[in-house]
């Protein structure tokens, strides 16, 4: 069984290997190990509740199939909180040749098998947490994957540059910066990226501009 917050079809608003704006099925898992005060999915971060939100794997697959889309985005909450159930779900989706991206907050470890099964990882890095809090194995990422720095102010941005240097993966994966509105605007973040000559992408949350989930 797997605890699900919701399953729906929309457009990818975040960076990923298949591009922002691609139609996708979102499988939003319940539960998160962090408590970011500005999280825009407050219902999904509540504790996993298998009794009241339990879906069988077959129920999830039937719902995904019914939405008739070749791309699946697994998000949360934090999907890795339900590690074994997530791995089983990914394996079943791969059998039917879905393209899969997984969005994670970067604070939990992942084994090489799961990393290899996912077509595109989108790994958040939140500079306002300690660097040591992030346990995702960055060295396993490749050019289909993204590290996304979540920025609330200039101090976060400066810290992200140091973190990028420590990760030292310029030639192996992609980097993006995402503004947490209203703490910092996309325009202000873009100005910082230009000023500091950052090699990377600005992540504008497209779904919010479109007014969709």
User: How do residues 69-98 score in pLDDT, each as one tens digit?
Assistant: 999 999 999 999 999 999 999 999 999 999
Q: State the pTM of this model.
A: 0.93
Residue 172: the pLDDT is: 85
Are 87 and 118 spatial neighbours (Cβ–Cβ below 8 Å)? Answer: no
Dihedral sign computed on CA atoms, order 133, 136, 141, 144: negative
Averaged pLDDT for residues 142-147: 96
Residue 26: which domain range?
2-210
DSSP 3-state of 29 = strand
Q: For the domain that residue 81 is a member of, what is the CATH number?
A: 3.20.20.70
Averaged pLDDT for residues 148-164: 93
Domain count, the chain: 1
Are 167 and 147 spatial neighbours (Cβ–Cβ below 8 Å)? Answer: yes
């Amino acid at each position: 069984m797997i605890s699900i917050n919701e399953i729906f079809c929309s457009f990818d608003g975040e960076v990923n290997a298949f591009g922002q704006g691609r139609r996708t099925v979102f499988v939003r898992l319940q539960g998160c190990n962090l408590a970011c005060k500005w999280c825009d999915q407050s219902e999904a971060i509540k504790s996993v509740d298998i009794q009241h939100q339990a879906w069988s794997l077959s129920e999830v697959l039937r719902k995904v199939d019914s939405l008739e889309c070749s791309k699946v985005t697994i998000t949360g909450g934090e999907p890795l909180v339900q590690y074994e159930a997530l791995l089983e779900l990914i394996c079943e989706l791969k059998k039917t040749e879905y393209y899969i991206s997984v969005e994670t907050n970067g604070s939990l470890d992942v084994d090489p098998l799961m990393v290899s099964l996912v077509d595109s990882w989108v790994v958040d890095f939140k500079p306002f947490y300690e660097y040591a809090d992030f346990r995702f194995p960055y060295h396993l990422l490749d050019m289909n994957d993204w590290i996304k720095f979540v920025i609330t102010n200039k101090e976060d941005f400066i810290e992200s540059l140091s973190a990028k240097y420590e990760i030292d993966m310029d030639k192996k994966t992609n980097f993006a910066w995402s503004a947490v509105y209203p703490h910092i605007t996309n325009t202000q973040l873009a100005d910082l990226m230009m000023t500091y000559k950052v090699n990377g992408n600005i992540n504008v949350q497209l779904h919010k501009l479109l007014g969709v989930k």
